[in-house]
Amino acid sequence: MTPSVDIADIATSRHAAKAFDPAKRIPESLFEQLLALLRNSPSSVNSQPWHFVVAASDAGKARIAPAAHGPYAYNEPKIRGASHVVVLCARTDIDAAHLNALLAQETRDGRYPDAAAQEAYRKSRAAYVELHRARRQDLPHWMEKQVYLALGSLLLGAAALGLDACPMEGFDATALDAELGLPARGLKSVAIVALGFRGPGDWNAPLPKSRLPAETLFTLL
Ligand SMILES: Cc1cc2nc3c(=O)[nH]c(=O)nc-3n(C[C@H](O)[C@H](O)[C@H](O)COP(=O)(O)O)c2cc1C
């Protein structure tokens, strides 16, 4: 079977867009596909410790943009100029309510042939959560790692759909969290992704890609 897409070509031709054309909007059908990518992103023990805040309107983007202030001001025009902006958030905890919600969803979705299988997975997931909470003491970091998987899916997927994107860690997360009321919802922002179509000021578009050579990155056993 010949694959219909060359994924390496997509990976090498995508870039972090540095300016967007504010006049160009992502068609809703394409944006729906990006939301499907986020929703279906894999996570350890299917923990899905994330939430995504989406801004498609100027008013929505205007709530996010001020978080790109001070040393991060260079990111503000990207947020305002993009067609859509997604704030990728991590949960601040995996509590019993979230664990129950996951198990109930998997049960509704037909993942468990019987109660014993359901109980086995419940226990396994709880053990992983406790491993990170108590023994490794890195539960917040573990949850953020899952969010970054969703970020990777989103960036590659956007490129595959012919869209431009810019991932951003350069923003005041405390200010954004307060503006979006995230702490009260047990969430915190991790990254922002601006999505749309590159504008004339996108200085990164014509530059060659730069990556370390394959022989330093891969060990072939
Ligand atoms: C997690 C993450 C955070 C980033 N933060 C920013 C940012 O705040 N502003 C920005 O212009 N680019 C940001 N970038 C873009 C990177 O600089 C860019 O991906 C990297 O230089 C590789 O270039 P390429 O994506 O064009 O191949 C970020 C990228 C990642 C993955």
Query: CATH number, domain at 30?
Result: 3.40.109.10
pTM for this model (two decimals): 0.97
Q: Looking at the domain assignment, is residue 216 inside a domain?
A: no
Q: Tell me: pLDDT of 2 over 80.
A: no
Over range 156-184, report the average pLDDT: 98
Whether residue 4 has pLDDT greater than 90: no
Query: Residue 161: its pLDDT value, please?
Result: 98
217 SS3 class = helix
| Rounded to 5°, angle at Cα 128 from 126 and 131 | 110
pLDDT at 206: 97
Residue 130 lies in a domain: no
pLDDT of residue 5: 86
Q: Does some domain include residue 16?
A: yes
Residue 218 domain flag: no
In a domain, 111, yes or no: no
Residue in 15, 72, 168 to alter for ligand 1 test, most ligand atoms within 8 A of Cβ = 168
Residue 1 has pLDDT above 80, yes or no: no
**Protein residue with least CA distance to atom 15, ligand 1:** 16
Residue 200: per-residue pLDDT:
95
166 CA to centre of ligand 1 in angstroms: 7
Q: Is the CB of 75 under 6 A from ligand 1?
A: yes
Cα–chain-centroid distance for residue 99? 21
Rounded CA separation 217/208 (Å):
19
What integer is the mean pLDDT of 164-183?
Answer: 98
Quick one: average pLDDT of 195-208? 98
Average model confidence (pLDDT) across the chain? 97
Instruction: Give the integer Cα–Cα distance in Å for 112 and 102.
Output: 13
The domain containing residue 12 runs over which residues?
7-91+144-204
pLDDT at 143: 98
* Residue count (the chain): 221
pLDDT greater than 80 at residue 26 = yes
Say if 196 falls within a structural domain.
yes
Q: What is the mean pLDDT of residues 51-60?
A: 98
CA of 170 to the centre of ligand 1 (A): 9
What residues are labeled active site?
A: 18, 78, 169
Q: Is the pLDDT of residue 169 over 90?
A: yes
**How many domains is the chain built from?**
1
Please work out whether the CB of residue 170 comes within 6 Å of at least one atom of ligand 1: yes
Instruction: pLDDT band for 3, please (50, 70, 90 cuts).
Output: confident
Is residue 66 within 8 A of residue 77, CB to CB? The reply is no
- Ligand 1 contacts CB of residue 167 (under 6 A): yes
For residue 92, pLDDT over 80 is answered with yes
| Predicted local distance difference test score (pLDDT) of residue 160 | 98
SS3 27: coil
Q: Quick check: is 209 in a domain?
A: no
